Amino acid sequence: MDFLSNNDALLQLSIYGGTLLLFWVLEVFISSQKWNLKVLHTSLNAKFLVFVLPVQIILSLLVFYVSSWTEVTKWGLMYFLPIKVNSILFFIVAFIILDFFDYMYHFMMHKTPFFWRFHQVHHSDMEVDITTTIREHPGETFARVSFSIIAIVIVGASPWVLIVKQFIQSVSNLLSHTTLKLPDKLNNIVSLVFVTPNTHHIHHHYELPFTDSNYGDVLTIWDRLFSTFSKMEQSEIIYGVDTHMDELQNKDFKNLIARPFLETNSKDIKDVNVIQLNATEDYYEN
């Protein structure tokens, strides 16, 4: 734990970067996409890191300050449970609760018009692959980490719990976006508990109600519990967002960064959300 605490940034970067590179190379050999087009797609998504990393790094300092505070003061839900502090069971329970908060955060980003303006930049990728993971608007980064801080205060997650959870979550997020899919029979088994590329790619389908389903970050149990889990044939998935299907605009980095602010007062956004809500309700009623 001391090694993880002292080398957290290096470890996270190494694991995240190594996993990203490994599966990017595998995608090059297995995917039908030409390698030069994949390089262009990667370079576009990589540009988001220039804006995202400063926000992520600065707020991460606050994350671990708050986490350390909850550990020292024994503040949070975990310290009211009859579980030995810093045991394996402590981590498992904390991980499950924090994963539920991640599910709620993702649900909020879709259902709240203001937050959706930022999150739809991630969904606007019409060529989903492992680099889509880093396609995140800095405004969403701020919202995501801020929500995590609130969850940490409520749960009472100690720093070592967050470090291990982040390792698992980072790898899961990368793998869920990769173009490498599981065989159907294996996916049906694994996806009973864990998010797979097959289930998450359905979430990136351009049209409702599938866009508003499969919110899970690591675990699928919340989608199953709250009836937001969906299935569809992988061959039928079309990536993107039905309100923004202009391929050139979705490859224009300046447009993507500015888009949430340009649409702040757009009546169309409100109308689209009404249509989305009706479509989702009809789907789950049927």
What per-residue confidence (pLDDT) applies to 2?
55
> Tokens 């003061």 belong to which residue?
73
Is residue 282's pLDDT more than 90? no
% of residues, the chain, pLDDT over 90: 69
The residue ranking higher by pLDDT, 140 or 278, is 140
Is residue 263's pLDDT more than 50? yes
What per-residue confidence (pLDDT) applies to 10?
63
Q: Return the minimum-mean-pLDDT range out of 37-41, 123-127, 211-215, 237-241.
A: 37-41
Q: Which pLDDT tens digit goes with each residue over 143-191?
A: 999 999 999 999 999 888 998 998 899 889 999 999 989 999 999 999 9
Work out the number of other CB atoms within 10 angstroms of the CB of residue 30: 13
From 285, 282, 279, 235, select the one nearest 110 (Cα to Cα). 279
Question: Domain tally for the chain?
Answer: 1
The residue ranking higher by pLDDT, 142 or 6, is 142
Q: Return the minimum-mean-pLDDT range out of 4-8, 43-47, 70-74, 261-265.
A: 4-8
Q: Return the minimum-mean-pLDDT range out of 142-146, 179-183, 221-225, 273-277.
A: 273-277
Residue 218 three-state SS: coil
What per-residue confidence (pLDDT) applies to 12?
64
Average pLDDT, integer, range 223-239: 95
Q: Which pLDDT tens digit goes with each residue over 70-114?
A: 999 999 999 999 989 889 999 999 999 999 999 999 999 999 999
From 107, 120, 109, 112, select the one nearest 260 (Cα to Cα). 120
The residue ranking higher by pLDDT, 28 or 188, is 188
What per-residue confidence (pLDDT) applies to 37?
84
Is residue 270's pLDDT more than 60? no
What per-residue confidence (pLDDT) applies to 34?
76
Tell me the pTM: 0.85
Q: How far is CA 60 from the centre of its chain?
A: 17
DSSP β-bridge partners for residue 239: 205
DSSP β-bridge partners for residue 24: none
Are 271 and 238 spatial neighbours (Cβ–Cβ below 8 Å)? no
The residue ranking higher by pLDDT, 279 or 64, is 64
Question: Mean of the per-residue pLDDT values for the chain?
Answer: 87
What per-residue confidence (pLDDT) applies to 85?
86
Domain that holds residue 109: 2-285
Are 125 and 132 spatial neighbours (Cβ–Cβ below 8 Å)? yes
